[in-house]
Structure 1
Amino acid sequence: MKVYLNGVIVDEGAAFLPVNDRGILFGDGLFETIRAYGGRPFRLERHMARLREGCRTLRLAGIPGDEEVRRAIGELYAANVREGDAYVRITVTGGAFDGSRTLRRSGPPNVFIVVKPLEPYPEEYYSHGLRLTVSRIRRNATSPLVRVKTNNYLESLFARQEAVEAGFHDALFLNTYGHLAEATTSNIFLVSDGEVCTPHLECGVLPGITREAVLEICQDLEIPTETGFYTLDELFSAQEAFLTMSTGEIIPVREVDGSRLGESCPGPVTARLIQAFHELVKSPGPEI
């Protein structure tokens, strides 16, 4: 497999990071995960804009431009995938550790890109829905890092591991104020009386690219939406719920901690949004 590392396409076995990389030592860095449909990355410019905003938060400079990233993804797709959908990950690390235990860095970041065939989620997730549990871990809504897709993902991994060990598919986070936040790698939506609702960004959630697309689709379909501050009781009383993520698109939620959500899964609004999203990604042209 070929990968991109700091401006060069190389064999995977020849791509190395130094042992003193800040990403290894401190989890210093961030990443983007993108789904490419037939080689076309979904909303690459928006992913890159979020990546750059995260770099500004982390005081990171020197990442490649959008066109260089686009060319690299195209070359890697041709080398590693050739046809069908692909998984794309762009990773930025803090570069060499020079002794500074602040966000000051004396050298450039390390940037690598991986493109490989997409491994889709099981079809039963879409036909029967997910079973979630509420994690005992809370998202810190006041932290500037909650809106950055940082390389330190242990909190999410820990929450998902506990969920899987308890027999669930994934975990759902509340924030430190008790409001709904997000799942471990996705945003959450609920449908109440025909209105599509999702936690406000101030709840401590990542501004998901698929989340944004779903809100735009709702506007096009004239489905009312709201971003707000929701409790677990409001989730339990919803008629439908679903998760959104780049690789999995829209996945319905069947139940939370054993409580069934709505009468059918996926519900009618969720099914309509799934169909509309599929139509969006099939739109012609080099950009999606």
Structure 2
Amino acid sequence: METMLCLDDGCAFGLGAFETIAVENGRPCFLAEHLQRLEEALHFLRIACDHTMLQKRIQDELHCQKLPHHALKLMVSDRNIAVTIRPNPYPGSRRFTGIRLCISPVRRNETSPLTYRKTWNYGDSILEKRRAVQDGWDGCVFLNSRGEIAEEAVSNLFFLKDGQLFTPPETAGLLPGIIRGHLLRQFAVREVLLKEDDLSRFDGCFLTNSLCGLRPVARIGSYPFPLHPLRQFLRLHDITPARLAFGDAPASIG
């Protein structure tokens, strides 16, 4: 069904918030966490949301479609509540193969409050990811204005060294992802500021987002990462991409 949007500040200026949620066998994963982050973004944007209507729209979408492996998108602005469903672009079963990321020439603005919220101001991420794919990469990494590593275009980054996980802190200029938050609660992850030349120190790298769960990274720019240490770490802690994204905390509504 086509979604019609009212012309408001969301459409005109990007002053809206959205969430993208994995749906497995009809169940939205980490739904409570996504709704909380959406509510916080709307509060910052001073947008009132009819949460009862939003829940009903979510229920209607989930109940009227067969959703074995899909993505649920919630979009809210001053005059709009839109809920859409599409197939999850990441395969449900994946081989343990690493992806290749370039360094984007565009910088993340760590001084902007919009950087830390999932708003409709998402053009940099989409355009730079498309450019990277056109150039033969799988995605791109953003540095901030100080030259510190922030995040991948649509994902958070983690690095492995001698069995210890590292990730850039929020202050580097990144969106605090749902899966990122889950890993920070489950493991003793060290949040450290990193420059591009620090990448050579690590034994492995992976990225996380709500639709893919976890994806190994084989290279960032000129820095390669072996997959074997990461595979051992994930096996030791019984972490699988599917479990991380879909099996750990699925939620249902209604």
- TM-score normalised by the chain length of structure 2: 0.88
Tell me, yes or no, if the aligned pair for 2:142 and 2:149 is still in contact at 8 Å: yes
Q: Which runs of 4+ in 1 moved over 6 A?
A: none
**Aligned residues: CA RMSD:** 2.5
- Give 1:208-247 correspondences, 5 Å limit: 208-218=177-187, 224-247=188-211
Deviation at 1:206, TM superposition (A): 0.5
- Give 1:129-148 correspondences, 5 Å limit: 129-148=98-117
Deviation at 1:233, TM superposition (A): 2.1
Which of the numbers 28, 31, 56 marks the counterpart of 1:44? Answer: 31
Cα distance per residue 1:114-165 (max 9 Å; x no partner): 12343324866x5211100111111111111111111121111221122122
Structure with higher Rg: it is 1
Deviation at 1:236, TM superposition (A): 2.6
Q: Which runs of 5+ in 2 are unaligned?
A: none
Cα distance per residue 1:239-280 (max 9 Å; x no partner): 110010011110010011143113538532245464286178
Q: Which amino acid aligns with 1:78?
A: H
Name the CA distance, whole Å, in 2 between partners of 1:113 and 1:280: 20
Name the CA distance, whole Å, in 2 between partners of 1:254 and 1:176: 25
Tell me, yes or no, if the aligned pair for 2:217 and 2:225 is still in contact at 8 Å: yes
Tell me which residue corresponds to 1:158. Answer: 127
Tell me which residue corresponds to 2:220. Answer: 256
Residues 115 and 64 (structure 1), Cα distance of their counterparts in 2 relative to 1, 3 Å cut = farther
Deviation at 1:284, TM superposition (A): 8.6
Tell me, yes or no, if the aligned pair for 1:130 and 1:254 is still in contact at 8 Å: yes
Deviation at 1:56, TM superposition (A): 1.8
- Percent identity over paired residues: 29
- TM-score normalised by the chain length of structure 1: 0.79
Residues 22 and 215 (structure 1), Cα distance of their counterparts in 2 relative to 1, 3 Å cut = same
Q: Which runs of 5+ in 1 are unaligned?
A: 1-11, 95-108, 219-223
- Structure number with higher relative contact order (C-alpha < 8 Å, ≥ 6 residues apart): 2
Q: Which amino acid aligns with 1:44?
A: L
Which of the numbers 154, 159, 167 marks the counterpart of 1:190? Answer: 159
Tell me which residue corresponds to 2:58. Answer: 73
Residues 185 and 263 (structure 1), Cα distance of their counterparts in 2 relative to 1, 3 Å cut = closer
